[in-house]
Amino acid sequence: MRDILSVLQQVEPELSKSERILAALLRNDADFMVNAGITDVAKRAGVSPPTVTRFCRRLGCESYTAFKMQVAQVTFGGTRYLTANASSADPDDVADSLLAQLQAAAVKTREALDMKAVVGAAETIAGSNLLAAFGSGGTSSMISDEVQNRFFRLGLRTVSITDHAMQLMQAATLKPGDVVLALSVSGRNLQMANALEAARSYGATVIALTRPGRPISELADITIGLDLPEGDNILRPSTSRYAFLFVTDLLATLVAMHLGDGARENLRRVKYQLSNARDPDDKEALGD
């Protein structure tokens, strides 16, 4: 489903002064825009009706009626998501604002995904001898560890490396059939790029989750492009984390489906051992 607020976020830097007034009205009183006619909206915003029409077309709507229908879809989920103030100290406002940010990031990531690249990456990982996740930095290091957490359970030999020197050393041990999953928000991590060059020279396949057209992407055999605006509020977590987690979960699910019974058996074993593990301090369970 098309999210008109995500579209607004993308085009907002290009809006005129009058269109920015309409954007503020959309965020602050979406219910009014859904129920009012184009003349009433123009009057309240202090602009002309043709300006309202141009604003609607900026957001990809052919008419004001089509615009109102899309705004109605947004408000159906709750107007708090439109009015929550990111700078508000109210815990409910903060929670709703973060939830809206997460949802918008997930929708935009899904809309922009190159599914051919995703499927190719999943098939390559499923057939790998070793999966080495490389990440260096806040988001990429966290996702690198999550990759290890998700894929070893499926029966794949998986390592997570977040140190540049260790990445280079690991790259030197790789061979054909091994895969490097390179994670970089900026795509400009030149030290990681050195390790990727080494990995490729020894025959490993490189898959990158990063911004297209950057050094990391250019070194990859398969690139899954992720490019989200970070926003201006430095107190909020990076939106990139949601995008990377979404794609990691997608890849893990597709790989698990590709592996079939083998993945299910490994997951069963993990669950069995965790469910039946004994507490070493429980003397009764140990028979002491």
What's the pLDDT tens digit per position in 174-192? 999 999 999 999 999 999 9
CA distance 39 to 156: 62
| H or E segment and range at residue 283 | helix 283-286
CA distance 119 to 194: 26
Q: Determine contact, residues 140/183, Cβ cutoff 8 Å.
A: yes
Q: Determine contact, residues 9/100, Cβ cutoff 8 Å.
A: no
What's the pLDDT tens digit per position in 115-159? 999 999 999 999 999 999 999 988 999 999 999 999 999 999 999
What pLDDT score was predicted for residue 2?
Answer: 66
Split the chain (288 residues) into runs of 10 and give each run's mean pLDDT. 78 89 89 90 93 92 90 65 57 81 85 95 98 93 96 97 97 98 95 97 98 96 89 71 95 97 94 84 55
Closest CA to 122 of 255, 222, 223: 255
What length is written for the chain? 288
Q: How far is CA 103 from the centre of its chain?
A: 10
| Pairing mode of beta strands 130-135, 158-161 | parallel
What pLDDT score was predicted for residue 105?
Answer: 85
Residue 174, SS3 per DSSP: coil
In this prediction the pTM is 0.69
User: Alpha-carbon torsion 110, 113, 118, 120, what sign?
Assistant: positive
What pLDDT score was predicted for residue 84?
Answer: 47
Residue 197, SS3 per DSSP: helix
Q: Determine contact, residues 54/20, Cβ cutoff 8 Å.
A: no
Q: In the 8-state DSSP scheme, what is residue 213?
A: T
Closest CA to 180 of 154, 209, 155: 209
What pLDDT score was predicted for residue 286?
Answer: 45
Q: Determine contact, residues 7/23, Cβ cutoff 8 Å.
A: no
> Which strand ranges, in their side-by-side order, compose the sheet holding 222-225?
158-161, 130-135, 178-183, 205-210, 222-225
For residue 216, with 0-12 CB atoms within 10 Å meaning exposed, 13-18 middle and 19 or more buried, which class applies? Answer: buried
